[in-house]
Amino acid sequence: MSALPEYKTRVLLDNEKVPLVEGVFVAAGAELPDPLPEPPVYLKAQIPGATSRAAQGLVRRCDSKEQLESGLKQLLAPGSWGQAEGVLVANSVNMKGEYYAACMLDFGNADELPHGVLLFSTEGGSGVEERAASLHKIPFSLLNLPSADDLIAKLGKVAGAQAIGKFLEGFIKTYARYKLIVLEANPIGVLEDGSLLVVDCRAEFEKQAVGKKDTELFAAAPVTKEDKTHLERLVDKVNEADPAGTGFIRENREPAPEGAWRVATNLCGGGGKMLWEMTTGARKDIYTMNESDTSGGLSAFKSYRVLRAILEMEDSQVLLLTGSGMGFQNQHYVAAAVWKAIRESPTPLPALLRFGGTDEDKGRELIEKVAPSLPVPVKTYMPHVFPNAMVDDVAAMATKQRIKVTPEPQPTGEPSFRVDVPPGDFFFFADKWDKDEAPPCVGACPNNFLFWNAEQRTVEPVEGARCIGCLMCEVVSLLEGNGELRIRLDLPEVD
């Protein structure tokens, strides 16, 4: 089942003449309309399947032209929510009441054919679908759709039944015409004269059910390749090869203000982004080089590759990594990715690192242990430290001139074995391990993916086990062994 964003759901409703609040859709990457709609208006980022949009700041009221312009700019750019297809700018309306309506499918049973079900309530607002007592539940045939009069009769005594019946007739027609799985309008605004219009809506559909002539109506808006920088495209390719979790960067297109510290960020999740914006939003002396998000259970292999892209941003002076302090991914693994990225990058940055979440102590300990061997200074912070303290250290840590180093050489040639997802090439160097027992990398693997073949004197993958790309084997090999196991994580080619 796929979700259809509001602006596309509106087109379907409009095709059946269901009245809608006035609005204009601004696609990501397109010119802004001239003139812009007159405030007050609501901006609604269009992201298929997004829920709790208001809580995430994806729905905003704008009372002035300035608010409208800056809100559009923010919501049209990628954020922790990813890249919106665009923004719906919807007029504000005076309503005397709110209704709720939804159509869904009932697959029926042995005694009953599949049919549609209309849910209608004279109460709108969130949570209405849970208040079963206030809902009218009206089954309807998909082959013989109910007329306005049929619906009025089924609704019984409801004030404004004529307007409601007419409205619901078009609503059900839309649902049936496009073979939707769910169609929801919440709220439906009730105007002073008793007429109704859809204020917010969404739909869900099955791709296979979309008719050929309607393909365009259901297609997602593409974000053009030309809009993206080389590093953004590189991260896109990383995601293609290793889709689990979020790995995202977007470089800031605006020039850095004179004299501001240029901070490359790796913000882990929406919480990290929110904290960073709260900390630096009003500061003119801090310029954020990029937006970023590494969260949602991504592998350390992917964290490493995103970090390598972040470290490549020209003109950056310092790297800052932080989450909200409740990171979902294991922070020891994140620290392993940071260590690897800094030691293998030809353009490493001094780093301010705040690990928070599972194994945060181990993450911090790892970085503190390896810090003396790194080509740049690094500083770690406890998870309860607010990013203000990190920002206070930016000036002392930032490099005035971009550091360029020749990083340690990567293993070359055919790997001992290869993992496809998350992608990594494993090299075992038998000449660096002269003992009979298994090298420490074998016991370090949390997924029992590695096996010591004592006869062949090599490390092999265990059939049926899975590599989660955590880097623990390489960390242990470097710190407790002789570097006998190394992982090469190539960066994708970008045209």
> In terms of CB distance, is 319 or 470 closer to ligand SF4?
470
Report in angstroms how near the CB of residue 304 gets to ligand SF4 at its nearest: 11
> In terms of CB distance, is 189 or 469 closer to ligand SF4?
469
> In terms of CB distance, is 12 or 337 closer to ligand SF4?
337
Cβ atoms of 315 and 262 within 8 Å: the answer is yes
CA distance 280 to 286: 7
Report in angstroms how near the CB of residue 331 gets to ligand SF4 at its nearest: 15
Q: Containing H/E element for 351?
A: strand 351-354
Give residues with Cβ within 8 angstroms of 343, minimum separation 6: 370, 373, 374, 375, 407, 408
| 3-state class (DSSP) for residue 262 | strand
Q: Find the binder of ligand SF4 among 86, 325, 469, 481 (CB under 6 A).
A: 469
Q: Find the binder of ligand SF4 among 87, 238, 378, 450 (CB under 6 A).
A: 450
Establish if 336 lies at the interface with ligand SF4 (CB under 6 A).
Answer: no
CA distance 184 to 200: 8
Report in angstroms how near the CB of residue 126 gets to ligand SF4 at its nearest: 42
Q: How many residues does the chain have?
A: 495
> In terms of CB distance, is 122 or 299 closer to ligand SF4?
299
Q: Find the binder of ligand SF4 among 171, 178, 339, 449 (CB under 6 A).
A: 449
Q: Find the binder of ligand SF4 among 28, 68, 289, 445 (CB under 6 A).
A: 445
Name residue 320's amino acid: L
Nearest to 45, CA basis, from 82, 84, 103: 84
With contacts defined by CB under 6 A, how many residues of the chain interact with ligand SF4? 12
| 3-state class (DSSP) for residue 358 | coil
Report in angstroms how near the CB of residue 445 gets to ligand SF4 at its nearest: 3
Whose tokens are 């194994």? That residue is 359
Establish if 447 lies at the interface with ligand SF4 (CB under 6 A).
Answer: yes
Report in angstroms how near the CB of residue 322 gets to ligand SF4 at its nearest: 24
Binding track over 56-95 against ligand SF4, x by CB under 6 A:
----------------------------------------
| 3-state class (DSSP) for residue 90 | strand
How is residue 455 written in tokens?
């006869």
CA distance 54 to 94: 19
Q: Find the binder of ligand SF4 among 472, 481, 484, 486 (CB under 6 A).
A: 472
Q: Find the binder of ligand SF4 among 102, 470, 478, 489 (CB under 6 A).
A: 470
Nearest to 250, CA basis, from 84, 82, 85, 70: 82
Whose tokens are 């812009």? That residue is 36
Q: Find the binder of ligand SF4 among 337, 471, 478, 489 (CB under 6 A).
A: 471
Hey, how many other C-beta atoms are within 10 angstroms of the C-beta on 224?
9
Cβ atoms of 345 and 407 within 8 Å: the answer is yes
Establish if 468 lies at the interface with ligand SF4 (CB under 6 A).
Answer: yes
Establish if 473 lies at the interface with ligand SF4 (CB under 6 A).
Answer: yes
Where along the sequence are the contacts to ligand SF4 (CB under 6 A)?
444-445, 447, 449-450, 467-473
